[in-house]
Amino acid sequence: MWIYSSAGVTVNNKRVSSSPNSLLLLSIQSNRKEKLKLYSYWRTAKKKNSFLRDFMANSGAEKLKLYSYWRSSCAHRVRIALALKGLEYEYIPVNFLKGDQFNPDYLTINPMGTVPALVDGDIVISDSFAIIMYLDEKYPEPPLLPRDLHKRAINYQAMSIVLSGIQPHQNLAVIRYIEEKINSEEKTSWVNNAITKGFTALEKLLASSAGKHATGDEIYLADLFLAPQIHGAINRFQINMEPYPTLAKCYESYNDLPAFQNAVPEKQPDAPSTS
The pLDDT tens digits of the residues spanning 132-161 come to: 999 999 999 999 999 999 999 999 999 999
| Same domain flag for 28 and 72 | no
> Do both 185 and 234 map to the same domain?
yes
- What is the domain-level CATH number for residue 182? 1.20.1050.10
Same domain for 206 and 238? Answer: yes
The proportion of the chain whose per-residue pLDDT surpasses 90, expressed as a percent, equals 68
Q: Hey, what amino acid is at 188? A: T
Whether residues 181 and 220 fall in one domain: yes
Confidence of residue 7 (pLDDT cuts 50, 70, 90): very low
The pLDDT of residue 60? 56
**The pLDDT of residue 113:** 96
Residues of the chain with pLDDT > 70, as a percent, come to 77
| 168 and 87 part of one domain | no
CA distance 89 to 92: 9
Position 49 in a domain: yes
Q: Which of 116, 141, 166 is the last residue of a domain?
A: 141
Tell me: do 19 and 108 sit in the same domain.
no
For residue 262, which of 76, 27, 47 has the smallest C-alpha distance?
Answer: 76
Among 17, 37, 59, the domain-final residue is 59
Band (pLDDT 50/70/90 cuts) for residue 62 is confident
Q: Are residues 159 and 252 in the same domain?
A: yes
Q: Regarding predicted confidence, which is higher, 259 or 30? A: 259
Say if residue 30's pLDDT is above 80.
no
**Boundary of a domain, candidates 59, 79, 94:** 59
Question: Do 192 and 104 have their domain in common?
Answer: no
The parent domain of residue 27 ranges over 2-59
> pTM for this structure?
0.79
pLDDT at 172: 81
Q: Does residue 165 lie within any of the structural domains?
A: yes
Q: How many domains does the chain have?
A: 3
Same domain, 36 and 68: no
Residues 264-270, mean pLDDT to the nearest whole number: 98
CA 243 – CA 69 distance, rounded (Å): 30
SS3 call for 217 = coil
* Continuous segment of H or E residues that includes residue 14: strand 14-16
